[in-house]
Structure 1
Amino acid sequence: MKITKKQIYISIFVVITIFIIVWGFLPSPVPVSIEQVRDAPLEVTIEEEGITRVTDRYTISAPVTGYLLRIQHEVGDSVRVGQKLFQIQPVPDLISARQREVAEAQLEAAKARLQQTKENLNLAQEEKQFADVELQRIQNLFESGIGSEQGLDNYRISARRAATQLASAEFSVRVAEHEVRAATSALQAFQKSGGQEQISIDSPVQGRLLKIHHISEGTVQAGTPILEIGDPYSLEIKIDLLSTDAVQINRGSSVRIKRWGSNQILDGSVQVVEPSGYTRISALGVEEQRVPVIVDILSQHEQWKQLGDGYRVVAEFIIWQDDEVIQVPSSSLFRTEGDQWSLFVVENGKAHFRNVDTGHQSGLQTQIIDGLQIGEDVITHPDERIEDGVKVKIRN
């Protein structure tokens, strides 16, 4: 039988058609993005907004009930030790034996507080001396090639903290001494005939006026807050963290202070994690348990001299860090059975399912403890088309 050209052309057409149909039904490779498993530094952080506040602030109150004369100072004014702040005229009609006893009791309480602050000052001085000696010892060991730089940094932070506590103790002593003088003046006002002598209240410390509660003249009761004084060079930061985050933070934990109005990042250290929390309603109406955390600023004052009391900052707490961590993008992981984490590895153009053991996790990267080798390729964003053995095509 003779085969004609027409039959040949028809046969070729049929073969091509069948090939196109079969090829069309074959599964095409799924385009994917990959990233290599790498060994790199990793740190876990918690970020939250905070507010600066003066560490040592002193509220000056009226020592007696009387007529407050107009205050001549304004908020922001600098004051020195012993400078007159305001005057108050005791009200004779309110002077009584009972108030005299109260004044005497206040004087004794002020003397007791002064003695307590002096004891705290002695303790702070001893701790400062001990911290300086330990820092010098570790410095000598480090220069001799013994010890780590991280250990040296920890002792430097301890020395700075001891210096801050010493300054705070000295401030408390000055404040207590002022309270004794104020209580003595109040008692003397009761002892004078008619109690007509004006009582002048002086500044116990050097600083600036942070707030004036009563600037106008008028009658005030004993104990009424009149104004607040503080040292703007002594700032700390108060951050209200979620209780689930606060339990991961300890005293001395490192903190980065950023987005405070400058691109410069400041160093900080956790001073106190308060033991009691409170309930706060979020902007979405959700009840949250918050815990106040106090952070000391460790950077030199010249770097943050623009900051003042009540300024907004962002604090980044360093929970964990390591320089050599096997890690993958967090987006490559997904849960399978229970708490098991899994991902897909690309080998020879195919996706292969694999279970892995994970460790610490930051926002974008996750530590891999077991299940992967450095240099392997993992699919960064697997979708429902990715299965074990599926052919994949790597996107450029």
Structure 2
Amino acid sequence: MRRALTILLAFLILAGLLVWSLAPRPVTVQVASITRGPFEQTIDEEGKTRVRERYVVSAPLAGRVARSGYKPGDTVAAGQALAVLTPLAPALIDARTQQQLAERVGGAEAARARAQAGMARAQAALRKSESDLARVQKLSKEGFLSPAQLEQADLDLQLARRDLDATRQAVHVADHDLATARAALQLSRGGTPGETWTVRAPVAGTVLKVLQESEGSVILGTPLVELGNPSDIEIVANVLSADAVRIQPGSAVRIERWGGPRSLPGRVRRVEPSAFTKVSALGVEEQRVNLVIDLVSAADESNGLRDGFRVEVRVVVRSEADALRVPVGALFRQGEDWAVYVVDGGRARLRAVRPGLRNAREAMVLQGLKAGETVVLYPPDTLADGVRVRASAEPRPTN
């Protein structure tokens, strides 16, 4: 009797092990929690920094330039000598070169007039920004406007001041170029043989590039040195033309992956009016448009950025203060509709949803989900309605 019971028990254990081995295992999946909070629809692209105002100092006349003693990164003051040029003797300057020098004077006069007009526009824009800020401050104190509108008005004033500073520099450079062009024309008509010409910096700044480092002969207009302020930078990013129509000057931007611990705020200053063709990494021709973006953070927050650095920009085209958010990795097509797998009681339940706005990471949920529910990320093909699942990690929020 005891032997029969032992055999029966062994048989039951073997049968149980067989059933357990053949039973379907829970599918291991990644999960995320559905949360409620602010949502932004963004256009994400790569961008590159550049010095906002750069000045190329060129040879005012033909001659022989001495070897430059400057290196990139050197600081120069306005009027400081950048290069020494030994012009050609007046007898060696032909009528064509004389005409070019005369036309350069005319071009410098036109450039100065254009710079002065730009400064007048910048001054008018600054006065308008100051007036707008005073009006917004008054209405904000009375509770008619939100803090965001006050912040926007203050930002517009800061950008207007920067534009005015830039146009003042442009006027100073134009005056310098005009004086140099007139002096070069006068020298070509009656200079002393062997007389040297000192090429001076039109503005104070930092040497960005030395374009003519060695001694040698140069022609009229040869670039010698490039100057700029490496801490006064802007960002240029190109976006698809289909995305550019949704971006307006003043749109908020977040600059990420620039090397700092957190993202930097920015603002679109200009959407260039003309698109260009660019071939993507996949060999597809795309029509793209350049965005010019200003940094609006404090200088000490972004002082690590310099000319030509790579960054990532997120341009905000729409935002919602309170939205139900789901990771885009949880969404998939179910026929003509969208669906997700919701984890309920350790099993995956197929559920139809209606998403709204979306960005690269998450989407708004208009119907089908509730805050606090857990969904499966990147559901595998083996997953089906009712299949048991096991989370590979704790549910993580969508933000």
Task: Check conservation: 1:269, 1:297, Cα contact below 8 A.
Answer: yes
Taking the aligned partners of 1:298 and 1:214, their CA distance within structure 2 comes to 35
Structure 1 residue matching 2:364: 3-state secondary structure: strand
Task: Check conservation: 1:267, 1:297, Cα contact below 8 A.
Answer: yes
Equivalent residue number for residue 397 of structure 2: none
Worse-superposed segment, 301-310 or 33-42: 33-42
2:88 is aligned, of 91, 114, 118, to 91
Distance 1:216 1:328, change over 3 A: closer
Identical-pair percentage: 32
Structure whose alpha-carbon radius of gyration is higher = 1
Task: Check conservation: 1:30, 1:385, Cα contact below 8 A.
Answer: no
2:352 is aligned, of 355, 362, 376, to 355
Cα deviation 1:143-184 (Å, max 9, x = unaligned): 222211221222122112211211111111011111101111
Cα deviation 1:295-331 (Å, max 9, x = unaligned): 2111122222333222333333334332311122333
Structure 2 residue 54 is matched with structure 1 residue 57: yes
Q: How does 1:30-69 map to 2 (within 5 A)?
A: 37-69=34-66
Structure 2 residue matching 1:302: 3-state secondary structure: coil
Letter in 2 for 1:362: N
Corresponding residue pairs, total: 385
2:129 is aligned, of 128, 131, 135, to 131
Task: Check conservation: 2:133, 2:150, Cα contact below 8 A.
Answer: yes
Worse-superposed segment, 102-111 or 238-247: 238-247
* Superposition deviation, residue 59 in structure 1: 0.7
Taking the aligned partners of 1:197 and 1:381, their CA distance within structure 2 comes to 76
Q: How does 1:92-111 map to 2 (within 5 A)?
A: 92=89, 93-111=91-109
Equivalent residue number for residue 138 of structure 2: 140
Taking the aligned partners of 1:383 and 1:281, their CA distance within structure 2 comes to 30
Structure 2 residue 270 is matched with structure 1 residue 277: no
Structure 1 residue matching 2:185: 3-state secondary structure: helix
1:294 is aligned, of 285, 292, 299, to 292
Cα deviation 1:15-54 (Å, max 9, x = unaligned): x89x979x88998695576655432222334444433221
* Superposition deviation, residue 131 in structure 1: 0.5
Cα deviation 1:305-359 (Å, max 9, x = unaligned): 3332223333333343323111223333211223x21234466777554332211
Task: Check conservation: 2:253, 2:313, Cα contact below 8 A.
Answer: yes
Equivalent residue number for residue 339 of structure 2: 342
* Superposition deviation, residue 187 in structure 1: 0.9
Structure 2 residue matching 1:303: 3-state secondary structure: coil
Q: How does 1:202-213 map to 2 (within 5 A)?
A: 202-213=200-211
Query: CA RMSD, aligned part only?
Result: 3.5
Equivalent residue number for residue 324 of structure 1: 322
Task: Check conservation: 1:254, 1:268, Cα contact below 8 A.
Answer: yes
Distance 1:194 1:146, change over 3 A: same
Letter in 1 for 2:309: Y
Distance 1:329 1:97, change over 3 A: closer
Structure 1 residue matching 2:169: 3-state secondary structure: helix
Equivalent residue number for residue 79 of structure 1: 76
* Superposition deviation, residue 63 in structure 1: 1.2
Distance 1:256 1:391, change over 3 A: closer
Worse-superposed segment, 321-330 or 155-164: 321-330
Structure 1 residue matching 2:225: 3-state secondary structure: strand
Structure 2 residues not aligned, in runs of 5+: 395-399
Taking the aligned partners of 1:374 and 1:204, their CA distance within structure 2 comes to 61
Task: Check conservation: 2:348, 2:389, Cα contact below 8 A.
Answer: no
Equivalent residue number for residue 220 of structure 1: 218
Task: Check conservation: 1:266, 1:297, Cα contact below 8 A.
Answer: yes
Task: Check conservation: 1:258, 1:264, Cα contact below 8 A.
Answer: yes
Taking the aligned partners of 1:361 and 1:228, their CA distance within structure 2 comes to 43
Distance 1:145 1:281, change over 3 A: closer
Q: How does 1:227-266 map to 2 (within 5 A)?
A: 227-243=225-241, 245-266=243-264
Letter in 2 for 1:276: A
Letter in 1 for 2:278: T
Worse-superposed segment, 343-352 or 188-197: 343-352
Worse-superposed segment, 30-39 or 66-75: 30-39
Distance 1:20 1:295, change over 3 A: same
Taking the aligned partners of 1:391 and 1:242, their CA distance within structure 2 comes to 42
Taking the aligned partners of 2:387 and 2:188, their CA distance within structure 1 comes to 95
Distance 1:385 1:267, change over 3 A: closer
Worse-superposed segment, 346-355 or 53-62: 346-355
Taking the aligned partners of 2:345 and 2:212, their CA distance within structure 1 comes to 79
Worse-superposed segment, 161-170 or 292-301: 292-301
Structure 2 residue matching 1:301: 3-state secondary structure: coil
Taking the aligned partners of 2:49 and 2:341, their CA distance within structure 1 comes to 46
Taking the aligned partners of 2:320 and 2:267, their CA distance within structure 1 comes to 19
Distance 1:67 1:139, change over 3 A: same
Taking the aligned partners of 2:259 and 2:183, their CA distance within structure 1 comes to 45
TM-score where L is the length of structure 1? 0.83
Task: Check conservation: 1:81, 1:204, Cα contact below 8 A.
Answer: yes
Equivalent residue number for residue 159 of structure 2: 161
* Superposition deviation, residue 205 in structure 1: 0.6
Structure 2 residue 300 is matched with structure 1 residue 311: no
